[in-house]
Amino acid sequence: MELKKDSNAVSIDMLLIVHSEKRRAAQGAHSDRPADPGAPPQRRGGLQGVGNGIRRWQKLEGNDLHGNLVEKQHAQQTQVITSYDNQGTQLTVEVHPRDAMPQLFKKFSLAKRLQVDKNGNTRPRQPGGKDTHAYPWDRSSLKSMALDLRQFEKLDTYASQVTVKSGLEELVSDLLQEAHSDLEIVRAIWIWICHHIEYDIEAAQEKDRQAFKPTVILQTQKTNCDGYAGLFERMCRIAGVQCVTVPGYSKGFGYQLGQSFSGEFDHAWNAVFLEGRWHLVDSTWGSGLVDSSTSKFTFLYNEFYFLTHPALFIEDHFPDNKNWQLLKPPQSLRQFENNMYHKSEFYNKGMLSAQPQTSIIKTVNGKATVTIESCSPTLFMFMLNGKQEHGLLSLRKNGMKLDVYPPTAGTYKLQIFAKGNSEIYSSVLEYTLKCHCADNDVRLPAELHQPVGPSWFSEQMGITKPSHPEPVIYTSDGRCSVSFGVEEGISVLASLHGDDGPVTEETQRRYIFQLHREKQTELKVQLPHAGKFALKIFVKKRQEPGNYLFVFNYLICCTNTKVNWPVFPESFGNWGVDNELLEPLSGVLPANRNVPFKLKLHGVAKALVKGQDTWPLTLSPEGYWEGSCSTAGCREVYVMVLENANHSFYSYILKYQVNAQ
């Protein structure tokens, strides 16, 4: 048998399996029953030597063999040679054909590359320099070896569907049917455990040692972290893969930011030896999670903890022996306690780094800033003490920036969530935020949702080239104009929200007047008073049913206490997409005045203004409908149009209020 260096390939022409035992004295004769080829080799003490004794050749099937037996055997036959020495020790040698090699490796669990101690027992090689990875993470991969997860699709499906029939060895044998390398063996075992073994919270709390035994785990399909690690190690060893259990501290269920670790270890995971190096896995955390509010376990497969890069694994796993960090340089327990904890979803969803790099942050002049860098555009949201308030979150092409303004002094829990490629936001980062002095001048509207300001996402939703690329708009007179391109077939809706004053649900759109020019939309905004307002922007595809979708909002700020703008005129459904209003822009007209009107209206035959009387508008050479109207004796004024000259029905398009005398 030849084992090629640094390879899993095995070249075998013949495999000899040797059994030694004392010759039975019963009836003065030795047993002539051949050794069971299906039984694993048994250790019965060292063989002192073989003298000149009786030697016999046997077959399991067919006639006795004679002569040059090895070369003449059929491919499916097994030969057995039995010999005795002068002390009565029996030596049985099985000769198996070449075609039986793969099954025999699985059957007899031939562990490869195992060291032997002074007593002859096999033991795993301890991690050394060639096993280590550089710290901090170099961003090259989430894994400790090059992997294409697509290569596991068939194997993963198969392994997840294998059921327990009898014992552990048969289960491993079934899993290995589709595994053709050590890597695939480890993958099959990992997938099976992660999809079939449930975390037993009661056993973990009671420290029930019975729950750790593989036989009990197979029966109940429940265990705790020690049981997961022990089962994983046992199954790997049965399959012939070097594996060890690593105890240590973890930032898992029940972990509190800034927590110190001491006393007995609270977790266990595994290291496996693949392709000449040690690699780390945690099947407990790969299988699912425990809800902290209900203490119930939910199966939720997590790929992150399979062959995790050690520089990432150290963020929430600290082994009892620093060598099992597989890092250069290794980290101290104090560093482990103080280092920023990025949850697995942080990396699963494509995050690369975050600032600050400490889990406890303090405000400066009432503000704290968090930035995240991601490898691709990602949607984010945040919660401060469980509410999406008191922060400005703006999206960047590869990440986000969050400014947080706590309303009062105190300690806060800041959580950041990311969406990634899924439809679900997942918690990726958590900080403890300490505010010694709040900035009372900053009071953000409660309706200011995330994100704030245009971004790659608004462009993706059909809004392009905004006139204001920054998230905050400052105005000294309480008015502003925001414009942007709109893709074909997209409708835009906007509304203004403040925390106090006359902006109610009925009038929140009346402080915005929307104008369309070809593929450009302009939003004219007039604030009812000084303060901070959220200008929310929604879009919808015209040809599709359903509601408008929120895209982003601006924060509009005005400190001028003299500002007191009225609403814009109310528009009706017949107000055309490409219509333009030049005057009057105020939705409230003075009483007893002649008020000039100027509009650009498309596709109409006639236009008029109706108050106490009717006032026709005329079409100018420049394409504007112009005229004037007296507000005497009326409470409301309407602009009306006739779309077809052959009809006599006029449609309402604008409505104005008239001030009381």
Q: How many residues does the chain have?
A: 661
Please enumerate in sequence order all residues whose Cβ is within 8 A of that of 637, keeping only pairs 6 or more positions apart, or say none. Answer: 589, 595, 609, 610, 611, 629, 631, 655, 656, 658
Distance (Å, whole) CA 116 – CA 274: 19
Burial class (CB in 10 A: 0-12, 13-18, 19+), 218: middle
Cα dihedral: 32, 38, 44, 48 (round 10): 60
Let me know if 225 is a catalytic residue.
Answer: yes
Please enumerate in sequence order all residues whose Cβ is within 8 A of that of 377, keeping only pairs 6 or more positions apart, or say none. Answer: 395, 397, 398, 456, 457
Apex CA 220: angle with CA 214 and CA 223, to 5°? Answer: 60
Distance (Å, whole) CA 384 – CA 406: 8
- What does the block give as tokens for 386? 């469980």
Q: Is the peptide bond before 356 cis (omega within 30 degrees of 0)?
A: yes
Active-site choice (85, 200, 226, 282): 282
Let me know if 267 is a catalytic residue.
Answer: yes
Active-site choice (133, 200, 225, 629): 225
8 Å CB contact between 244 and 233:
yes
Apex CA 435: angle with CA 430 and CA 441, to 5°? Answer: 115
Q: Is the peptide bond before 124 cis (omega within 30 degrees of 0)?
A: no
Token pair 């009809």 in the structure block, residue: 647
8 Å CB contact between 26 and 12:
no
Please enumerate in sequence order all residues whose Cβ is within 8 A of that of 504, keeping only pairs 6 or more positions apart, or say none. Answer: none
8 Å CB contact between 445 and 534:
yes
Which of 443, 539, 420 minimizes the C-alpha distance to 488? Answer: 539
Could you write out the DSSP letters of every residue in 608-647? EEESSSEEEEEE-TTS-EEEEEE-TT-SEEEEEEES-TT-
- What does the block give as tokens for 574? 């017949």
For residue 300, which amino acid is it?
Answer: L
For residue 341, which amino acid is it?
Answer: Y
Active-site choice (96, 196, 267, 317): 267
8 Å CB contact between 442 and 405:
yes
For residue 258, which amino acid is it?
Answer: G
Burial class (CB in 10 A: 0-12, 13-18, 19+), 658: buried
Which of 477, 449, 453 minimizes the C-alpha distance to 557? Answer: 477
Distance (Å, whole) CA 559 – CA 551: 27
Distance (Å, whole) CA 16 – CA 19: 10
Distance (Å, whole) CA 563 – CA 477: 6
Q: What are phi and psi of 74, to 5 degrees?
A: -65, 150
Could you write out the DSSP letters of every residue in 552-590? EEEEEEE--TT----PPPEE-TTS-TT-EEEE---SEEP
H or E element: which one contains 278?
strand 277-281
Residues annotated catalytic, as ranges: 225, 267, 282
